[in-house]
Structure 1
Amino acid sequence: MMRLPSSLTTRLALAYGLATAAILVSVAAYLSSALSAQLEGRDESELVSEVLLVRHLLREVRSEAEIRADTHRFADIAMGHEGLILVVRTRQGEPLVTLNPRNEAVPPLRVLPASTQPDKDMLQTWHPRNGVPSRGIAALGQLGDSDKAVEIVVLRDAGYRVALIREYRYRLLWATLCGAAVAAGLGFVLARRGLRPLRRMATDAAAVTTSRLATRLDVGSAPAELRELAAALNDMLARLQDSFSRLSEFSADLAHDFRTPISNLIGQTQVTLAQSRGVAEYEALLESNLEEYERLARMIENMLFLARADHAQVALGVRTLDAREELDRMAEYFEAVAADRDVALAVGGHALVQADKTLLRRAVTNLLDNALRHAPAGTTVRLDATRIPAPGGGATTSIRVSNAGPAIPPETLPHIFGRFYRADPSRRNSATSTGLGLAIVDTIMRLHGGSVTVRSLDGETVFSLQFPADGAAAAQAPARVA
């Protein structure tokens, strides 16, 4: 199988050449056919005209002897007519005038009466020595005013016409080939010039590096056909820049969060090993180290979950759940923690939700843990489940977790679902928080095709989980901030 050239310019040039060749071949075939038909029609008209002319000349003679004596009058008729054969003979077949340069055998033809006006429909086919089908006609012609008649035979050897058409087609073929070659050459030049903006775009794209992710392609100067591509590439570069920035921030935060427990482990161990200690001191060191190990384990587990979710490796077991029942169980689980912090828990609403049971509990648990850590003593943390009719039919399920307390600053809201992001710059809660809880909630909701939103006004913060009616996992979408 023949492979196409890898160069788009060459492909376009070949396409131009082939298209031109196809057009020229079609035109040449039409012209050749038209010329052949025109020549054939002209020959047939000349055959009829020759018969009429010979009849006219025969009207001017009185006898067969006069024809023999003045044959040049008839010979002049055939001059300038290539392939024309003229025979005038008596009724008995005795030749009077014979103009047959190639000595072709005169075929027997049906003879038209003298009173019949010849036309093209009366022409008959015969075959000369070259085998080319030719046309001819035979008719009687009266001598003068007498009743005596002679036989007129007019033939036209079509071999000359076939040779002429063959030569004509040969020239057309060369003209077609030359035209296709010229079209391919011009097409190459035009395609190369036309693809110059694409090469310039490729050069600009090649200049994009990790240190120049802010570079964008010039959409305004691009041709209309390439603007959509340039805009799509710019959008891709913007996404890459955003992802790279978040990855850089994530790497920095990850290094910071791993450094703290590791530094604690190293420092406490070095201090303890600096001199002999008692069993109680070693036990205290091990307990402290265990807390740091557990924190590192939680961070690694959360990071592995996020990595699997990013690569669509988390399998969802979506089913219909009683949202109120799930909220009651989680409230019961956190009841002791809430009591230690002098915070009450309240559960309200009734709704069914299409969700993965384990992931639903993990998302609500993260929000509830976050609410209990920020709720002032003596306040109430609420968990509510409601069913909200959707505009296009069906309904969505909303699970809200709300707590009283200081409002989250507006400039912080767009970032709280980022990984390792903490609204507290001092990170005073770093010992108990990994900074991945809300990022995991956002990922879980995107896996379900839903979303998580936050509203923090007038001393109350409300996180809402919006589950779609069918519960199907859809393409990931960024979390919205209300």
Structure 2
Amino acid sequence: MSARLSLGLRLSLLFAACTAAVSLLAGIVFSRASEAHFIELDQQLLSGKLAIFRDVLSEVSSAEQLAPHTAELRRELERHPDLGLRLQGPDGQRWFWQLPTMNMASDEPPAYRELQAPLKADRPDGPQLTLILDITHHQHFLQRMQRLIWLTMGFSALATALLGAWAARASLRPLRRMSEVAAQVSAHSLTTRLDAGQMPQELRGLAGELNAMLARLEEAFQRLSAFSADIAHELRTPLTGLLTQTQVVLSRPRGLEDYREALHGNLEELERLTAMVNDMLFLAKADHGLLTPSSQLLALAGEVDELLEFYGPLAEEKSIRLDRDGELSVHGDRALLRRVLANLLDNALRFTADGGQIRVRLEPGRLSVENPGREIPADRLPRLFDRFYRADPARREGQGEHAGLGLAICRSIVRAHGGEIRCESAQGWTRFVIELPNV
């Protein structure tokens, strides 16, 4: 049931319950203190009257000796209508008995408090004197006070519930604002933000995190939109080429060699499309945490040397020198890490001018691939690893098999190995740095 109650109602009920509990506790403490105070006053009163009656009956030792003092006893009791007296002999026989007369006419049964003591202080086994005090008015006071406590507790709980509801509603206004902002968020409206400066201190951090989350959603949605447009563009070009070439070939009868040449051309485009789709599936698998590389001890110096030997002929055509410095051993998947290195080297070869140099540096926990080239603006460096992104927009066309997925694949593989990759571009050099856990 409590799960269905609103937070404001639960706070109001909590305030009311706390107020009622505090009022009840205060009432009980006050009632007990008042009762103890009245008992103390009654005991003091009875002790004072005990001395008076002992003085009046100082010469009484038997029932016969009491008779001359009876009238004086009654006069004393008449002066104190809230007092009564009972006098008993040592054998328990009652010599004198008179109850308080203050509430005799009342239909309500009276309440008494008694004080019993020896008639003579030095003879505890002698006649016993019992003073009886009518405390009915004390009881009435305590009963009225208890009723007042219950009424006060009820009104306090009701007033606190109403004030608590108002305070809770006012205090929860920032949360309602958050709810309104969340309701406004859609695919077409991701720019709404909360004013964290106007939030209470307790919600300021939450507002900041919500704004950060909305900013991440906006960025992710923009990237997704750009990715959708890029993939449509990347697929449209080869599909249009395939469609056009096929229509041209089928527009009139042709020789067997023409059909064979057209099929070879279509095969190349289909292979490029297949590679692109495979790369996209690889990235989707990495995004869902399904990329689980194997772990084996690898000496990356040997892997780099093999790749440099593989790319040697292509580098010689452009008079590019390939160098490797240092040693590095890591635990990882050999095939995946070779794919990262191959992508970076292929990328460096494409953007290095003839006669340039490509350096691969291996250091403890760090690998870098460097090549000379035009400096990339700092604001574009983080986006180099986005899918289909190219730092030079002029190179979006005519890239052949290079669809802009290589660096995104590199980042996915490096992160799957617990590392990180970044790009640095300064002073005429572009450097891709990979940081991997040490062995």
- Percent identical pairs in the alignment equals 37
Aligned partner of 2:277 in structure 1 is 300
Counterpart Cα distance in 1 of 2:297 and 2:136: 90
**Which residues of 2 match residues 49-64 of structure 1 at below 5 A?**
49-58=48-57, 64=66
Counterpart AA for 1:240: L
- Which secondary structure state, in structure 1, belongs to the residue aligned with residue 425 of structure 2? strand
User: How many residue pairs get matched?
Assistant: 423
Answer whether contact 1:205 1:217 (CA < 8 A) is retained: no
Indicate how the Cα distance of structure 1 residues 68 and 296 shifts in structure 2: closer, same or farther if over 3 A, else same: same
- Which secondary structure state, in structure 2, belongs to the residue aligned with residue 18 of structure 1? helix
2:293 equivalent to 1:325: no
2:259 equivalent to 1:290: no
Aligned partner of 1:127 in structure 2 is none
Aligned partner of 2:5 in structure 1 is 6
Answer whether contact 2:348 2:370 (CA < 8 A) is retained: yes
Answer whether contact 2:24 2:153 (CA < 8 A) is retained: yes
Counterpart Cα distance in 2 of 1:28 and 1:457: 79
Counterpart Cα distance in 1 of 2:151 and 2:55: 47
2:371 equivalent to 1:403: yes
Q: Deviations over 1:298-350 (max 9, x none)?
A: 11111122222222221133343211122123223334444455544333311
In the alignment, which of 428, 448, 451 is matched to residue 417 of structure 2?
448
2:413 equivalent to 1:437: no
In the alignment, which of 230, 247, 252 is matched to residue 270 of structure 1?
247
2:18 equivalent to 1:41: no
Indicate how the Cα distance of structure 1 residues 47 and 299 shifts in structure 2: closer, same or farther if over 3 A, else same: same
Counterpart AA for 1:7: S
Aligned partner of 2:189 in structure 1 is 212
Aligned partner of 2:105 in structure 1 is none
2:392 equivalent to 1:424: yes
Counterpart Cα distance in 2 of 1:39 and 1:178: 28
Comparing 203-212 and 25-34, the one that deviates more: 203-212
Counterpart Cα distance in 1 of 2:97 and 2:428: 126
In the alignment, which of 448, 452, 461 is matched to residue 430 of structure 2?
461
**Superposed CA RMSD:** 3.1
Deviation for aligned residue 1:169: 3.3
Answer whether contact 2:100 2:133 (CA < 8 A) is retained: no
Aligned partner of 1:362 in structure 2 is 339
Aligned partner of 1:137 in structure 2 is 116
Deviation for aligned residue 1:18: 1.4
Counterpart Cα distance in 1 of 2:226 and 2:320: 35
- Which secondary structure state, in structure 1, belongs to the residue aligned with residue 224 of structure 2? helix
Counterpart Cα distance in 2 of 1:76 and 1:133: 17
**Which residues of 2 match residues 29-428 of structure 1 at below 5 A?**
29-58=28-57, 64-76=66-78, 78-79=80-81, 81=82, 84-88=83-87, 97-100=96-99, 135-140=114-119, 151-156=128-133, 165=142, 168-339=145-316, 341-387=318-364, 397-408=365-376, 412-426=380-394, 427-428=396-397
TM normalised by structure 2 equals: 0.85
Comparing 282-291 and 205-214, the one that deviates more: 205-214
- Alignment gaps of 5+ in structure 2: 102-108
Q: Deviations over 1:202-259 (max 9, x none)?
A: 2233223333322211122222222212111111111111111111111111111010
Counterpart AA for 2:198: S
Counterpart Cα distance in 1 of 2:210 and 2:89: 93
Counterpart Cα distance in 2 of 1:134 and 1:69: 24
Counterpart Cα distance in 1 of 2:377 and 2:141: 94
Counterpart Cα distance in 1 of 2:176 and 2:16: 23
Answer whether contact 2:86 2:98 (CA < 8 A) is retained: yes
Counterpart Cα distance in 1 of 2:279 and 2:92: 117
Indicate how the Cα distance of structure 1 residues 333 and 152 shifts in structure 2: closer, same or farther if over 3 A, else same: same
Counterpart AA for 2:404: G
Counterpart AA for 2:265: S
Indicate how the Cα distance of structure 1 residues 447 and 92 shifts in structure 2: closer, same or farther if over 3 A, else same: closer
Deviation for aligned residue 1:13: 0.3
- Alignment gaps of 5+ in structure 1: 103-129, 143-148, 388-396, 471-482
Counterpart AA for 1:66: P
